[in-house]
Amino acid sequence: MTTDAPPPPDGPRDTSPAQPTTEQFVAMQRSPEFAELRHTYRSFAFPLTVAFILWYLLYVLLSNYAGGFMGTRLFGNINVALVLGLAQFATTFLIAWLYSRHAANRLDPKAEAIKARMEAEL
């Protein structure tokens, strides 16, 4: 025994939201609002990415070529290499937290405005 209800008399209904056309997406991509969103993202993400890569490469280079410095004991069995290695993890979490805040405060409102504008045009 099945409990499935029969389909409505006029057939199944499409409940998916209307989708913008390719032309509408391209027009939005060329709009000043989208350019501002892209600039806001890039002005945050690119400098932090470059800074982190340089920081990571510094750690690798110091590990390879400055063994004496990296082996310097700070206290007990804790040396410079361990502290800088743990700082890599801390930096990763810090960047993720900063990006989360930046996205919530600056990117998401702009993206929502663009989305609302596109949906209003449908």
pLDDT in tens, 66-111: 999 999 999 999 999 999 999 999 999 999 999 999 999 999 999 9
- Output the CA torsion 7→9→11→16 (10° steps): -80
Once rounded to an integer, what is the mean pLDDT over residues 17-28?
85
For 7, phi then psi, to 5°, come to: -65, 155
What local confidence, expressed as pLDDT, does residue 88 receive? 96
pLDDT in tens, 59-76: 999 999 999 999 999 999
For 11, phi then psi, to 5°, come to: 95, 175
For 21, phi then psi, to 5°, come to: -80, 170
